[in-house]
Structure 1
Amino acid sequence: MFSLLCSHIQFATNRGNIRSAITIFPPRAPGRGDFRIWNPQLIRYAGYRQPDGSVRGDPANVDITELCIQHGWSPGGGRFDVLPLLLQSPDESPELFPLPPELVLEVPLQHPTLEWFSELGLRWHALPAVANLLLEIGGLEFPAAPFNGWYMGTEIGSRNLCDRHRYDVLPEVAQRMGLDTGTSSSLWKDRAAVEVNVAVLHSFQVAQVTIVDHHAATESFMKHLAAEGQARGGCPADWAWIVPPLSGSLTPVFHQEMVNYHLSPTFRYQPDAWKVYVSKGTTVTRRKTFKEVANAVKISAKLMGHVMARRVKATILYATETGKSRTYAWNLCQLFRRAFDPKVLCMDEYDVVALEHETLVLVVTSTFGNGDPPECAESFSKALMEMTSPYTGTSQAEPPMSYKLRFNSVSQSDQLVSSWKKKRRQLSNTDSAGTLGALRFAVFGLGSRAYPHFCAFARAVDTRLEELGGERVLPLGEGDELCAQEESFRTWARQVFQAACETFCVGDGAGGAEELFAPPQGWKRHRHRLVPQPQATETLAGLSQLHKRQVFPCPVLSVENLQSEESSRQTLLLRVGCAGQGGLRHLPGDHLGVFPANRPELVRDVLQRVEDPPPPEQPLALESRGPSPGPRWVLQPRLPPCTLAQALTFYLDVAAPPSPQFLQLLGSLARDPAEQERLQRLAQDARLYEEWKWFRCPTLPEVLAEFPSVALPAALLLSQLPLLQPRYYSISSAPGAHPGEIHLTVAVVTYHSESERGWGRAVGTSGASPGLQGDTVPPQVAPWAPWCWCSGAARPPWTTFTARRWRRRGSRAPSARCSRPSPASPAAPRRTCRTCCGHSWRPRCTRCSASAGATCTCAGTSPWPPRCCRLCSTSWPRRAA
């Protein structure tokens, strides 16, 4: 076989004047093995897999290269090493045959005008001989029938050299050409690919080796197609193979409709020889056909469907504004899949009428604003309130009211709740159990105790479901954002799963919960790496990409301190220029999102602790490798290409206290056993962590200073630190009163932790911000005289409304919201502050109130020396009914 193949190569090469040839070995026969050529082509270049996952040489030939090495080949380790032939005769093991160097004609590549192109060291062989196709003629099958033609230029230039999964020379060529590779609009790939194809055609022509360009080849095919159509009425063709990979639409075949069907004789694909080869002495097991595997999958799915149909169905509803409730809902779904048939739905996707037919409902919801439901739960809360309760004691339907009026001030110990609970207990077994008498439910609420109506919507849903006759599986669970919220959810999830299993007599109880909520495995250094990038993404573009929002650069025109000289507090009026930023349209009552930057000293302290710091100006990207077989590195889209300092300044949060998960990672990197034990205790003990966090309020540099033995890799920071979130501020200016400007009233927040480490400053007010983000919520227009109550942070929107009323009062022109001018209605503003000297808006409030048509203005202060009036002593004129 090897001798015949050498003769084939020599005959077909013909010193560069390529001749078409085919060598056919004996056909397949019953009871006998096949003649097989394991190589996909007679001449191929080797591909060597490197320890870091990259490939030196041709990545398409990694498998056959490893097979050749296993059979005794000594590799050269170069980019263009010709592979030996692996040949197999019937019923024999494959044998290795290196090709003589003088038999393989290679063409070094050069460019007619780019002199540096030859320095790339590229070359390619002259003979394309396909060896792994099966030839079928008249019912006979020939597994070994290598054949060849000659190359079309784009086969080498576009596919072999430019494909990303082959040699991928485009970035190197584009860099040598001086093209901008940072943006696709520069068409650097197209321009570089054209030059590579020009070099291939030029080099083969200079070496006097047969080659054809894709335009001539497609013209020849069109003539062949026309001739076949006249002679046989058609010709099978695969459009994806016929259309060239370069300038396809400029060739006639691009617009030619083709039909792909099979005739005999034909060449067709066959399984790779090494995948079906069975060595001597090995028992041959029959290979399963696709139909058999498909039937097995179908039967398994059917059996699984029967099993799930017998399980108790559970519906998990969530309502969220930030996405955390959705994450918790899916975690709960994974847990309940061990014993139930759960499904997860958002509240706006759920029909409340279906509650009457549910068996088990689990609710995970947050509370938004001043005790409001999240936006996706508005319809659900309204429908839930409109459902009739059997325990009201009245025959008439209850008047419609919001759940806030009903539940925000109602607790489980109130007389209202106690009365209908008592009536429910007095019902006999024959009485109706209510609209939701067959329902079992449990509710978990997410919120922050920094707000007055903590978990108000979750409490409302929990109370209302019991009012309607549902039976509570577990008392309401609450997760405080300020105190171990995730641990609270895990505890509640374990308990509700255990209670549900006991209620319905299914499952294995809390055992599955312990396995599901086991702490994740630590960060692995060898699975993450930083790779250099040619160019860093601009900060504004990076923020837009990171937060999926459009970000605008706006200059700060002026900064004015609104507090008096006697006040120890600092409140700033920031005038931000927005002229020319069409996307920053706003109305009174809107707020503005500001992307802050970490303080330079924090970034500097973190960079000093990095054990493997990259060059300061080197753009980087993060790659990771999963636990699956094969050392393939995958680019992580978490951060855009950037320098390490840029990421720590604008993208990642280094000022917030590290999470328990991050402390656990730091513990695995600590060299001191005592520090390692201390970090692990903080990560695993929720109470100890909360005490440590609120006592110290540590930033990341302070944590690193507390644990100096921690070795901090740069890849850990880019992959595990939380993202730096925007800070939102109420707008204190009206567009018409201050065109081209946005006014923000910002309180500079300083804090003093109990650990006596000095004063700290909040990130959002500690310095300039790199970009601004607008998010508009149009306010509602009240038809009656408004009572304006503003205290503390409410003064900026109050100033916005008064400025707008001031402008409308001075101009009777029609507004954008009404078809005719209408005078501004009177207003009665009230404002409060901590002290008289802290009334930072006194001059502006007085001017705006008088000009905006306010009937009276009063200032109330917190309890202070007698010279300040108390809030309770202010007079309140009653509005006429």
Structure 2
Amino acid sequence: MSVFGLGSRSYHTFCKFAHDVNDNLIELGAQQLLEVGEGDELYKQAESFQIWTLKVIQTICNENSLYDQTILLKSIDEIKKELEWDPKDYRVVKSQSSEPNLIDSLSSIHKRKVVPCRLHSKKELQSHSSSRSTLLIRLEHVEETGLLYDPGDHVIVYPSNDEILVNKIIGRMNTRTFDDVIEVEKLGIYSLFIEIDASKSWRKCSRLPPCSVRTALKHFIDISAPPTQELLTTFALMSSDSAEKQILQRLSTEQDLYKETLHALGNPSVCDVLDVFVNVKITAELIIEKFPIIRPRYYSVSSCLLTYANEIHLTVALQQHFTSGKVNGVKTTAKNGKHSYGLCSGWFRKMKAEDVVPLSIKR
């Protein structure tokens, strides 16, 4: 057996559960093939998992017949290809479906029941003289959705991107079909253990439901967070400028440089970074398959059903950032940088009464 753990090195208990499971399995008599694999969400988590998978398969190969080794080695070749972005292996097809239902789509993507609530009101809790902003968010129609909670439970909120950022990304695309409902297909060999004579075929990707690029960018794809190193690797491949490629390759492989650059720039969004690297080609396939999914935000419940039978309240601190105008000496299109807000708190800041808020309860 071999165990792979997920976590963040920003926590001192990084991958502790995975190590505990590994130790318990050994105590029960399991034979360990490899040391525990670790995936850090702050540093190439997906690539770490794929590299660990390769090592597992290679270890299994050493203990199997020549025929089995041949099949497994072909599996290794396919996994290695997953580490690289090759535009030729992806294509967009027009879908026969209509735009998806937002709540159903979020439930499917996040594997959790999502329900719609509506904004009743919001109130600033800080004084006019304060430099901070804290909002009391009142959401209503909880009873109609069958949403029950206790004080202290967590509300999981699924925010959407600002329309300005969505239009900036769309403006970088060389297409006018961003409102067409599409699906992405990938060319590959689809088998757990690939037969020697297996051939490639196109298969629909299931990361997102069929939707338009605009819908994906608005509701599903994260364009407000700093780009991961995996995404910067792909940007390097998609850039037509050699100087850009060199900088992107360094940022994607040198972790210290990556962290220092993000800190110096005030944690720039994907849009901010694309303002710097203007020669990166943005396609629908790249957005839907390689850009990260928006992570839901967690808030503690600030109300009680006994007092507010039809409402659920959240207390939201407005997150503010200042983005610089340079990265490694390359100027952005914004001369003096810009002021921005956290995705979810900024979303609440602009929200109007009756706007829909998708959410779940974590008890």
TM-score scaled to structure 2, two decimals?
A: 0.73
Given candidates 708, 714, 736, the residue that maps to 2:306 is: 736
SS at match of 1:555: strand
Q: What corresponds to 2:332 in structure 1? A: none
List alignment gaps of at least 5 residues for structure 1.
Answer: 1-314, 317-362, 366-445, 778-881
- What amino acid does structure 1 have at the position aligned with 2:181? L
Alignment of 1:744-763 (within 5 A): 744-752=314-322, 757-763=337-343
Q: CA deviation at 1:588?
A: 2.6
Deviations 1:371-421 (A, max 9, x none): xxxxxxxxxxxxxxxxxxxxxxxxxxxxxxxxxxxxxxxxxxxxxxxxxxx
- What amino acid does structure 1 have at the position aligned with 2:302? S
Change (3 A) 1:525 1:620: farther
Change (3 A) 1:633 1:460: closer
SS at match of 1:572: strand
Distance 1:632 1:478 in 2: 32
Q: What corresponds to 1:805 in structure 2? A: none
Q: Is contact 1:622-1:718 (8 Å) kept? A: no
Q: CA deviation at 1:554?
A: 1.6
SS at match of 1:581: helix
Q: Does 1:723 align with 2:293?
A: yes
- What amino acid does structure 1 have at the position aligned with 2:339? W
Given candidates 599, 604, 613, the residue that maps to 2:176 is: 613
Q: What corresponds to 2:331 in structure 1? A: none
Distance 2:56 2:96 in 1: 49
Change (3 A) 1:694 1:488: farther
Q: Does 1:593 align with 2:156?
A: yes
Given candidates 212, 223, 228, the residue that maps to 1:654 is: 223
Q: Is contact 1:540-1:770 (8 Å) kept? A: no
Deviations 1:686-735 (A, max 9, x none): 44434434443232222221111122223322232222232121111111
SS at match of 1:553: strand
Q: What corresponds to 1:771 in structure 2? A: 357
Give the fraction of aligned pairs with identical amino acids, expressed as a percent.
Answer: 33
Q: What corresponds to 2:116 in structure 1? A: 553
Q: What corresponds to 2:214 in structure 1? A: 645
Deviations 1:101-153 (A, max 9, x none): xxxxxxxxxxxxxxxxxxxxxxxxxxxxxxxxxxxxxxxxxxxxxxxxxxxxx
Distance 2:50 2:20 in 1: 22
Q: Is contact 2:103-2:358 (8 Å) kept? A: no
Change (3 A) 1:474 1:687: farther
Distance 1:710 1:557 in 2: 42
What is the number of equivalent residue pairs in this alignment? 329
Q: Does 1:448 align with 2:8?
A: yes
Q: Is contact 1:664-1:679 (8 Å) kept? A: yes
SS at match of 1:718: helix
SS at match of 2:316: strand
Q: Is contact 1:544-1:551 (8 Å) kept? A: yes
Q: Does 1:364 align with 2:7?
A: no
Q: CA deviation at 1:630?
A: 9.3
Q: Is contact 1:527-1:626 (8 Å) kept? A: yes
Distance 2:128 2:137 in 1: 18
Distance 1:481 1:461 in 2: 20
Change (3 A) 1:494 1:693: farther
Change (3 A) 1:775 1:713: same
**Structure with larger Rg:** 1
Q: What corresponds to 1:535 in structure 2? A: 98
- What amino acid does structure 1 have at the position aligned with 2:166? V
Q: CA deviation at 1:541?
A: 3.6
Change (3 A) 1:493 1:690: farther
SS at match of 1:535: coil
SS at match of 1:598: coil
Change (3 A) 1:642 1:519: closer
Change (3 A) 1:620 1:487: closer
Q: Give the alignment's Cα RMSD to 1 decimal.
A: 4.1
Change (3 A) 1:613 1:717: farther
Q: CA deviation at 1:766?
A: 0.9
Q: Is contact 2:90-2:285 (8 Å) kept? A: no
TM-score scaled to structure 1, two decimals?
A: 0.33
Q: Does 1:680 align with 2:243?
A: no
Q: CA deviation at 1:556?
A: 1.2
Distance 2:201 2:256 in 1: 41
Given candidates 481, 502, 522, the residue that maps to 2:41 is: 481
Change (3 A) 1:485 1:747: same
Change (3 A) 1:364 1:669: closer
Q: Is contact 1:587-1:776 (8 Å) kept? A: no
Alignment of 1:197-212 (within 5 A): none
Q: Is contact 2:150-2:304 (8 Å) kept? A: yes
Q: CA deviation at 1:746?
A: 1.1
- What amino acid does structure 2 have at the position aligned with 1:707? F
Q: What corresponds to 1:581 in structure 2? A: 144
Alignment of 1:229-268 (within 5 A): none
Q: What corresponds to 2:126 in structure 1? A: 563
Alignment of 1:311-710 (within 5 A): 315-316=1-2, 363-365=3-5, 446-458=6-18, 479-485=39-45, 520-525=83-88, 527-531=90-94, 533=96, 535-614=98-177, 618-624=179-185, 626-627=187-188, 634-696=203-265, 697-710=267-280
- What amino acid does structure 2 have at the position aligned with 1:642? C
Q: CA deviation at 1:606?
A: 0.6
Change (3 A) 1:463 1:549: closer
Distance 1:518 1:688 in 2: 26
Q: CA deviation at 1:743?
A: 0.8
Of Structure 1 and Structure 2, the greater strand share is in: 2
Larger CA deviation: 586-595 vs 462-471: 462-471
Distance 2:76 2:251 in 1: 20
SS at match of 1:719: helix
Q: CA deviation at 1:626?
A: 2.0
SS at match of 1:554: strand
Q: CA deviation at 1:773?
A: 2.4
Deviations 1:453-489 (A, max 9, x none): 4444456567788999999998876544334445666
- What amino acid does structure 2 have at the position aligned with 1:723? I
